[in-house]
Amino acid sequence: MRIIAAALVFSGLVTQASMAKDPVRYTVRVEEPSSGIYKVAAEFPATGDDTYLSLPSWTPGHYTLENYARHVGRFEAVDAEDGRALRWDKTDADSWRVVSSGTSRIRVSFEFSADTLNLSGSLLHDDFGFFNGTNLFLYPETGYDFESEVTFELPEGWLIATELQETKLPNVYRAIDYHELVDNPTFLGHFAIDSTLADGIWVRLAVYPGSYMREPARTMALDALEKIAESLHELFGDPPYDRYTTLIYLAEGIPYLAGLEHSNSHFDVLPTVAFEQPRLLFTGFIYRLLSHEYYHAWNVKRIRPAGMWPYAYDRQQFTPLLWVSEGITDYYAQLILVRTGIWPGALLWRSFEDAIGNVESQPVHEAVEDASLNTWIDPTFIPQDYYYDKGALLGLLLDIRIRDATDNRHSLDDVMARLYREHFLEGSGFTTEDFIGYVAEYVGEEASWSFYRDYVDGRQPLPFQQTLALAGLRFESDTITEPFLGVAVAATRDGGTRITTVQPGSAAARAGLQPGDILESVGEVEVTDEDWGSQFREVYTGAEGMRVPVKYERDGQPESSWTTIGSRTRYVHRIQPERGASPGQLRIREGLLTGETEAG
């Protein structure tokens, strides 16, 4: 069942009387949307002679330090009771000291420049804005355990979509602690919002610009969200939220699709073409993105590595377990699409083939634990998403091994459900020992820890052929040596080809190419259409070491240089259902696709 939602569909009000303590009060004001400035104020209890306040330096799920305080200007502090100006100064990059002697409550205010279109940033323009709470909401350095109230002062007619708790007062919301406060990205302004029911729980979809909330994209997105939600409710039990919201910002001409998870919502940035041609584009990455971010409501937002329990917003929080938090999430994102009928089973095997190719083609093979730790430093030789693909493949291999060792009575589903019950619901994060220990209860201690040493902490080639055979799947590989330039590119609005990354040591690096350059030609190949890469490989096959000219544009000026043709070895992988699979192998294969076990 689906209904058209009003600005906000609600599932439980928070009353003023329900708050046991005087909350920290925030105000977010939009006066002139075109200025790109949020005006933010907050009232805090004074903590003695000096009160120390900070902004986060990162947003959970986006593992990089971003120092949001760099967007802050016109900072002021006053006595909240009589308006007397208070002295203040900066103590580090994102912290302030307010001299609070002689007062019981302080009020600080500042302007925040919201000009960043990314998942962890904030944006404000003529008719719309979004923000992440980590950008706008200061916290007292005494800790995160405080209730808060947020009042929005907005232009007339602006709507609000957020999973902060509503109150009976218009445009006033509450949070039980700082973690909840900053874990709710918010849409403000003019956008479209729609809802569906999944097991009696409202699942909402907010889209900007609202004109793109039309058929068939509207129905395709809501149907998928409903099915994904119901599948996850069945997998983990009662949902941990009263309502869930997917927030989608559509932008013209961007060369990427991306999402960021939150406890009761997720925020996606997509190109407008995603909703203009949904029948072409949803089946691939968009359905997978929706499923991935939704599964995160359990895995990483609640089933969380001990190294990130609780969140600390002033420093990096290293963990070797992002291969579980992100990689196994990506594994389930794809399984769920098949289990709900959104994807055909054959597409699952094609997706895993692509993941194997991505992992095997990397110039450096890294332990997936190391890749998890390295995400904070954006490593040069290993892409930041290495632990996504390799973690997803580890999830596949572990799932098959658990099913094989238990005659399909148990699966990786049981491991994830136990992590949820025995760690999140008990108020703790999990460790590698916890995860491998649960696997060992099904597979055995020696086999589980050997798998860990070889393929998680180690760098041994993953055992695809042997393990996939247990599920009646045949694994084959071909090796291809081909010319390789060493760039990733994206189309510009005027049809050009902008370089986004340059691989160290590649032909592109030897030519002096840099991210941001507009590539025009390489030797005889004009970079004029999407197929120029295949033309390059066709023309220069067997020409390794040949010296060729390179033409490009940098900062609007034409440039040229020379390079020598390089090559790379690429692997083409195929996963095929084995026609002669045994009944046991077929049960495992079907169990993967359906989620069924012999006990269930």
Residue closest to 400 by CA, chosen among 469, 322, 460, 476: 469
Listed range (40-44, 190-194, 420-424, 532-536) with the worst mean pLDDT: 532-536
pLDDT digits (tens, 9 = 90+) for 104-125: 999 999 999 999 899 999 999 9
> Domains, the chain, ranges and CATH?
2-189 (2.60.40.3650), 195-282 (3.30.2010), 306-472 (1.10.390.10), 480-571 (2.30.42.10)
DSSP lists the bridge partners of residue 253 as none
Task: Give the mean pLDDT of 479-500.
Answer: 86
Listed range (118-132, 135-149, 270-284) with the worst mean pLDDT: 270-284
Distance CA 45, CA 85 (A): 16
pLDDT of 6 strictly over 50: no
pLDDT of 18 strictly over 70: no
What does the pLDDT read at residue 21?
63
Distance CA 467, CA 152 (A): 55
CB 229 within 8 A of CB 240: no
Q: What is the DSSP letter of 376?
A: G
Q: Which segments of 176-216 does DSSP mark as H helices, in order?
A: 178-182
pLDDT of 16 strictly over 60: no
pLDDT, averaged across the chain: 93
Choose between 414 and 363: higher pLDDT.
Answer: 414
pLDDT of 17 strictly over 60: no
Choose between 501 and 6: higher pLDDT.
Answer: 501
Listed range (153-167, 184-198, 362-376) with the worst mean pLDDT: 362-376
CB 235 within 8 A of CB 268: no
Distance CA 59, CA 74 (A): 23
Sign of the Cα torsion 379, 384, 390, 391 reads: positive
> What value, to the nearest 5°, has the Cα angle with vertex 35 and ends 260 and 69?
50
DSSP lists the bridge partners of residue 462 as none
Place of tokens 């609070």: 100
CB 504 within 8 A of CB 380: yes
Res. 571 pLDDT band, cuts 50 70 90: confident
Res. 379 pLDDT band, cuts 50 70 90: confident
What does the pLDDT read at residue 381?
75
Res. 4 pLDDT band, cuts 50 70 90: very low
Task: Give the mean pLDDT of 391-403.
Answer: 98
Task: Give the mean pLDDT of 20-41.
Answer: 93
Res. 491 pLDDT band, cuts 50 70 90: confident
| Residue 145 neighbours by CB distance under 10 Å | 10
Res. 384 pLDDT band, cuts 50 70 90: low
pLDDT digits (tens, 9 = 90+) for 588-600: 999 999 999 986 5
pLDDT digits (tens, 9 = 90+) for 201-257: 999 999 999 999 999 999 999 999 999 999 999 999 999 999 999 999 999 978 789
pLDDT of 304 strictly over 50: yes
pLDDT of 444 strictly over 50: yes
Res. 480 pLDDT band, cuts 50 70 90: confident
Distance CA 432, CA 322 (A): 11
pLDDT of 302 strictly over 60: yes
Place of tokens 């580890």: 394
Q: Is 304 helix (H, G, I), strand (E, B) or coil?
A: coil
Instruction: Label residue 441 exposed, middle or buried (CB < 10 Å: 0-12, 13-18, 19+).
Output: middle
Q: What is the DSSP letter of 98?
A: E
pLDDT of 586 strictly over 50: yes
| Residue 433 neighbours by CB distance under 10 Å | 12
What does the pLDDT read at residue 116?
87
Listed range (308-312, 336-340, 382-386, 563-567) with the worst mean pLDDT: 382-386
pLDDT of 433 strictly over 80: yes
- Radius of gyration of the chain from its Cα atoms, rounded to whole angstroms: 26
What does the pLDDT read at residue 254?
83
pTM equals 0.88
What does the pLDDT read at residue 493?
67
Task: Give the mean pLDDT of 310-338.
Answer: 97
CB 246 within 8 A of CB 166: no
